[in-house]
Structure 1
Amino acid sequence: MIKKSLAPLALGGFGIGMTEFVMMGILPDIATGLNISIPQAGYLISAYAVGVVVGAPTLVSMLGHRPPRGVLVWFMLMFAAFNALSAFAPNFHTMMLFRFLAGLPHGAFFGVGAVVATRLADKGKEAAALASMFSGLTIANVVGVPAGTWLGHHMSWRLVFLIVAAIGLAAALMTQKVIPYFEGKPRAGLAQDLRIFRNPKLWLALGITSIGTGGLFAWLSYIAPLLTEVTHFHADMIPLIMTVVGVGMTAGVQFGGKLADRVHPLRAIQILLASMIVLLLLNAVLASSQAAMVMLAFGVGANALALGPSIQMLLIEHSREAEMLGSSLGQSGFNIGNALGAFLGGIPLILGFSYASPQWVAAGLAGAGLVLALAMQAHARRSVRALA
């Protein structure tokens, strides 16, 4: 059960998750509607991701000193406006611009929302509160994305963006009504905020996010051809299996919140990345088994999203001087992981290897994230010894 004061954050996360992931399902419809090729339409996904990476630190640096409730309302109004404009885009170049602009408030909303969620949380339940916020994103993969894909196929892809815009508007209104007022932190200046990047632990946390979560995206980017060409599922089964992934994500984010409240976030990340490596390797080894792949779809989805609360807690912990800026970097890192995983996972396919080969790349990325997490722990131990 989501705490009432956290419900607007979950609703905003639902809209964000829907607009980001429904693109994969309605890409052919958009390509037809704008009279472009599917590879060209794929650039619209990249434009949104670039918007997230750029917008997260930029908008938070500009507005992070203001009262958080008002900032969240403005982010959702921006999100609603640019998704509504996407619905009316007359051509490819205009659509590219609107998708970039729609991505700008994505990471900023989660960054500010994460700090607000920890302030609203009961003592010792901060990570669980973060999980509640991220549950909106995961539920979007179970409900919003399949529904949006169906609407895009059978009615109009433009209608999907209008629905997303309506969700964003509802989240803005709900935020204004439900989330309590907090004073903003006095602004020390952009130069002062940027000093958080002098902290090597923050860079390690960003590396864990960008590289470790790349394993999820190397797996997710090529899961459809893996299931049809290697596991021999009929194409009509793919949406159902993706729903299984979404259910796994929903369960995983709740588990991840509880885990991060029981052990230190860095320790939780190490446990989850280690188990992610095992699950991704099993995807490669058991790719011919339909039963195994359905179970692994749930398991990888759950494991991947369980990382979310711990990563946000870690970023906030190592950016206390500008915690909203630091927190917003999580979504930038996830989207870098998205691009990195898709690119590196595609290399073995270009070289002529099977559709199971990206799973080895995915496991390698998760392994690199684990190495960074262990390095971060070693750095912390050296710092403690230096102070002793």
Structure 2
Amino acid sequence: MFFPMKLRVPQVYLLLFFLLIVHFDALTLTQKSDKSSALVPAIIVFGDSIVDPGNNNVINTLVKCDFPPYGIDFVDQMPTGRFCDGRIPSDLIASKLGVKELLPAYLDPNLEPQDLLTGVSFASGGAGYDPITSETAHVISMDDQLELYKEYQEKLRAIGGDAIAENIISKGLHVICVGSDDIANTYFPTLFRKLQYDIPSYADLVVNYASRFFQELIKLGARKIGIVGIPPIGCVPSQRTLAGGLFRECAPFHNQLAELVNSKLNQEIQRLGSIYQGTLLVYINIYDTLLDIIQNPDKYDFEVATNGCCGTGLLEVSILCNSLTSFVCANVSDHVFWDSYHPTERAYQILVDVAIDDVLPLIIS
């Protein structure tokens, strides 16, 4: 910009002040435009380690990962409590829907009040629909996650008032991703549930608890709810090692139970949808996509689909995957799985892209 030679000092300050106002107005408009591009006002997540961004960091449990090599592909290679080399599905969903790049843990001690307005995750690694699953792992149960959600709602009202809180709760996307640990950590490795239930009746038990959770969430005002099905848990590296026999095949009964729960879960979601008019309940199928990735890794440019990247890749997960006892594979992006239980960020990205594309027309309707 050209400044006249005879411009006086006060006039210079006035001009600079004017330019600053223009700059901040433009910045504000840009921020408003970015926010308005979001397809939902907030992402609110419940579940287990697949979508736990660090809630377990602050509770007394062994189910933790707030140490290297976790986070090796995260911002500044920082371990945050995400059970992954990088971002997890809750982050990727928030980013894909234009809400924010990272979805924080509700119990993060550094959480700012403004962070609450666009959503948080209440998920806790090791949680399950079956209460015994969370109790055994000493993590935040699904019922306790609902209690935290009630607390969250009060904070929203305190920050933005009733109208803003109501908009976030009713129009925000609520995502529930849990159930794998019921199969892998509760039903098959212990006798307690197997003595009480065969596979079909345990599937009924899990779905009954799930249905109670969904209905409580609806009573609390949620109107857009995405329910993620259980993956082919029998094909993750640790379950291949523990229950896949000499050749580490996919554990068939684990997958049988996962498919049965998914089928019954989908039916229950449709039933509840007919009862709770005005509430969107969407079943999100990840089983088929992940199974295809595992069975056809070349199709997705993966090289290793049966072992994790951390350590031997056979059993290392959580505290067993650490910088003292485990090495990390040379190229994380070649692997479907980061540790023996959780996919890599690149595998998650494929799953989220497929899932969101499938349900996006419903979410934004």
Q: TM-score, normalised by structure 2?
A: 0.30
Higher helix share: 1
Q: Using structure 1 for the length normalisation, give the TM-score.
A: 0.28
Say which one has the larger Rg: 2
- Higher RCO, 1 vs 2 (CA within 8 Å, ≥6 residues apart): 1
